Amino acid sequence: MGVGEELRFPDTFLFGTATSATQVEGHCAQSDWAAFAREPGRVRGGDTPDAACDQLHRFREDVALQARLCMGAHRLSIEWARVEREPGEFDPAAWDHYRDVLGAHLDAGITPMVTVHHFTLPRWVALRGGLLSQELPALLSRFAERAVEALGDLCQLWVTLNEPNMLALQAHLVGVWPPARSSPVEAVRAHQNLFRAHAAMYRAMHEAAGRRGHSIEVGVAHHLRVIEPDRFGRLADRMWAALFERLFNDAFARAVCDSGLHDFFGVNYYSRDLVRFSAAHARAGFLRRLVPEGAEVSDLGWEIYPEGLGYVLDAWWPRARVPIYITENGIADADDDQRPRFLVRHLAEVARAIERGVDVRGYMHWSLLDGFEWAEGYAPRFGLVEVDHATQERSPRPSAELYARIARARRIDADGAGIAGAAGAAGAARGACGTCGTSNDGGAAPA
């Protein structure tokens, strides 16, 4: 960021956080992930999502925390296995729970964004073929339709599917998520089936909203990476990078854009891959992903590459032709020594993209809390707020206070001296923001 550069966000821009049901709620034994995590060796450290962050019982505390941090939006998901325990039997108490959750957000002035499907399936769907089942589009669209009927008066922004590309890859090719398969053919079939599901969900959700007189906007949260050949001089690396780009980044997102079946375009952006063709990586489609030598990486070894978010926005804005939300962006950083700079540098990319004319409406940081990170268990710490999973105590990290300060000021200052704002940000937590209705001193975060 250049010295003296000041970046401002529009008044309507939504600063928020993101979570998903399985990763934070706890207490749902009926999902495929609950069963999978119990199989030895599936999840690091033998962790399970059984308790997660106990948000099922603590959502009011968490919403209060979001409000205190001046958040204007929050992306959350509904646990399919909780609301439809048996085929076609929807539990009214579960819908009531989600009505309470959304109501709490609205009462706190926080705009909710609801994801219908975030990776997990009810066990009964998994047993009927899961992502490969011919029934999947019909089952998911029925669930989505019921969700809009039950919650459509409380939520305008809806995501059909979270990262269908990542789900198909991890579940059916890399084999580290249920049902732990390693079949390129299955991965392609799952991916295509998820596209059919999205199309059916999009239509069913709009029809349901129309019948009830609700106005909703529906999109997909696409996982988009920057993909480059590791060795430009090697044809095989270039070919594999192009193939990965096409199958992973492009296929689903392009199909959605071409079909016009979306009202906004969700971007989940984390990192860049240098791609190498590798005979030793047959299981992963002969693809080896590397980070540039000497690059700064997160606790999970992912390269920190903020410029990539700018590239992704520039690449997809002309194709998407609908407003964009950053539906996820974050870092595993237990010490919180990288997150402040990560946050500011990625937000700066968003602000610059807006200046270039890209219609980005909001940014949801992954994540509000340290949650259950799938096969990695509770080890990676993505939370702005630290969670002690033994006591469920929540402690906002300095980066949470910094983010609050940025959200309150709606701008980032550049003084060329790195992050100086983290310490001075503590005042934000005292409640001076638009969301919590108290005074705004206009202080911004130096970047």
Q: Of 385, 379, 265, whose CA–CA distance to 327 is shortest? A: 265
CA-nearest of 381, 358, 357, 356 to 371 is 381
Between 237 and 333, CB nearer to ligand FCB: 333
Least separation in angstroms between residue 159's CB and ligand FCB is: 11
User: How many positions of this chain bind ligand FCB (CB under 6 A)?
Assistant: 12
For the bound state, the minimum distance from the C-beta of residue 118 to ligand FCB, rounded and expressed in Å, comes to: 6
On whether the CB atoms of residues 364 and 407 are closer than 8 A, the answer is: no
| Subset of residues 7 to 26 that bind ligand FCB, contact rule: CB under 6 A | 20, 23
142 Cβ partners below 8 Å, 6+ apart? 88, 204
Judged by CB under 6 A, which of 111, 268, 271, 338 binds ligand FCB?
268
Please, which residue, 223 or 346, has the CB nearer to ligand FCB?
A: 223
User: Which range binds ligand FCB by CB under 6 A, 24-32, 149-157, 160-168, 348-356?
Assistant: 160-168
Segment contacting ligand FCB by CB under 6 A, of 40-48, 281-289, 366-374, 430-438 = 366-374
Q: Considering the rule CB under 6 A, would residue 373 count as an interface residue with ligand FCB?
A: yes
Which range touches ligand FCB (CB under 6 A), out of 96-104, 136-144, 159-167, 279-287? 159-167
3-state secondary structure of 290: strand
CB of 270 to ligand FCB, least distance (A): 6
What does DSSP assign to residue 297?
Answer: B
Q: Contact between 366 and ligand FCB (CB under 6 A)?
A: yes
Count of helices and strands (H, E) across the chain? 15, 18
**β strands within 79-233, DSSP E:** 84-86, 89-90, 111-117, 157-162, 217-223, 226-229
| Interface pick for ligand FCB out of 162, 249, 271, 338 (rule CB under 6 A) | 162
CB of 408 to ligand FCB, least distance (A): 26
Question: How far apart (Å, rounded) are the C-alpha atoms in residues 42 and 177?
Answer: 8
| 147, 159, 166, 204: which one binds ligand FCB (CB under 6 A) | 166
By beta-carbon proximity to ligand FCB, the closer residue of 48 and 162 is: 162
- The pattern of x and - marking residues 32 through 71 that bind ligand FCB according to CB under 6 A reads ----------------------------------------
Span interacting with ligand FCB, options 135-143, 161-169, 181-189, 424-432, rule CB under 6 A = 161-169
Q: How much helix, strand and coil, in percent to the nearest 5, is found in the chain?
A: 45, 20, 35
Q: Which is nearer to ligand FCB, 20 or 338 (CB)?
A: 20
Are the CB atoms for 181 and 121 separated by under 8 Å?
no
Q: Which is nearer to ligand FCB, 59 or 366 (CB)?
A: 366
Query: Of residues 226-265, which lie at the interface with ligand FCB (CB under 6 A)?
Result: none
* Footprint (CB under 6 A) of ligand FCB, residues 380-419: 382
The interface region with ligand FCB, picked from 158-166, 230-238, 393-401, 408-416 by CB under 6 A, is 158-166
Encoded tokens for 136 = 């999947």
Q: Are 161 and 215 in contact (CB under 8 A)?
A: no
Give the contacts of 229 (CB within 8 A, at least 6 positions apart). Answer: 237, 238, 240, 241, 274, 275, 276
HSE-CB at 359 with a 13 A cutoff on CA atoms is 11
CA pair distance 158, 60, nearest whole angstrom: 21
Give the range of 7-15, 82-90, 162-170, 384-392 binding ligand FCB by CB under 6 A.
162-170
23 or 133: CB nearest ligand FCB:
23
Tell me whether residue 9 or residue 372 sits nearer to ligand FCB (CB atom).
Answer: 372
Q: Kindly state the smallest distance separating residue 364's Cβ from ligand FCB, in Å.
A: 11
Q: Pick from 393, 424, 420: which is nearest to 408 by CA?
A: 424
Nearer to ligand FCB, 333 or 413 (CB): 333
* Burial per residue of 339-373, b for 16 or more beta-carbon CB atoms within 10 angstroms, e otherwise: bbbbbbbbbbbbbbbbeeebbbbbbbbbbbbbbbb
DSSP annotation of 13 reads P
Q: Which is nearer to ligand FCB, 114 or 433 (CB)?
A: 114
Q: Count of CB atoms within 10 A of residue 85's CB? A: 16
**How far apart are CB 299 and ligand FCB at their closest, in Å?**
11
Least distance in Å: CB of 410 to ligand FCB? 26
Question: Could you tell me if 410 and 395 are in contact, meaning their C-beta atoms sit under 8 angstroms apart?
Answer: no
Catalog residues that contact ligand FCB under the rule CB under 6 A: 20, 23, 162-163, 166, 223, 268, 328, 366, 373-374, 382
